[in-house]
Amino acid sequence: MVDGTDGNSRGSGGSAGDHNRTGVFRRGDGNPDEIERLYRPRSEGRSASGGAGSTRRMPPAREGRPSNRSRVHDGSGRKRREREQRRRRRRTILVAVVVLLLLVPSVFYLWADSRLERVEALAYEGRPDDQPGTTYLIVGSDSREGLNEEERRALGTGDAEGKRTDTIMVLYVPDGDGAPTIISVPRDSLVDIPELGENKINAAFAEALDGGPARLARTFEEASGVHLDHYVEIGMGGFVQIVDALGGVEMCPEEAMEDPKANLDIEAGCQEMDGSTALGYVRTRATPNADLDRIKRQREFFSEVINKATATGTLVNPFRSVPLVNEGTQTFEVNEDDHLHHLVSMGLAMREDPTTTSVPVASTPTLDTVGSVVLWDETRAEEMFGAMREGEEIPESAMEENF
The 3-class SS string of 195-260 reads: CCEEEEHHHHCCHHHCCCHHHHHHHHHHHHCCCCCEEEEECHHHHHHHHHHCCCEEECCCCCEEEH
Domain locations in the chain as residue ranges = 1-55, 119-398
Strand pairing partners for 358?
A: 184
pTM: 0.69
What pLDDT does residue 62 have? 55
Is 256 in contact with 161 (CB distance < 8 Å)? no
The CATH superfamily label for domain 119-398 reads LCP protein (3.40.630.190)
pLDDT tens figures, 313-367: 777 777 777 877 777 777 788 999 999 889 888 888 888 778 889 999 999 999 9
Burial of residue 162 (number of CB atoms within 10 Å: 0-12, 13-18, 19+): middle
329: helix, strand or coil: helix
Backbone angles phi, psi at 139, to 5 degrees: -125, 130
Backbone angles phi, psi at 106, to 5 degrees: -65, -45
181: helix, strand or coil: strand
Is 135 in contact with 229 (CB distance < 8 Å)? yes
Alpha carbon 245 to chain centroid, angstroms: 19
If one counts every other C-beta atom within 10 angstroms of the C-beta of residue 292, the result is 20
375: helix, strand or coil: strand
Is 152 in contact with 173 (CB distance < 8 Å)? no
Residue in 174, 160, 134, 192 with CA at minimum distance from that of residue 346: 134
Q: Which residues contact 147 (CB under 8 A, 6 or more apart)?
A: 155, 157, 236, 237
Residue in 185, 85, 179 with CA at minimum distance from that of residue 140: 185
Residue 8: how many CA atoms within 13 Å on its side-chain side? Answer: 4
Residue 120 Cα distances to 47, 337, 400, angstroms? 106, 9, 31
Is 146 in contact with 319 (CB distance < 8 Å)? no
Q: Which residues in the chain show pLDDT less than 70? A: 1-77, 142-162, 236-237, 402-403
Rg (CA), the chain: 46
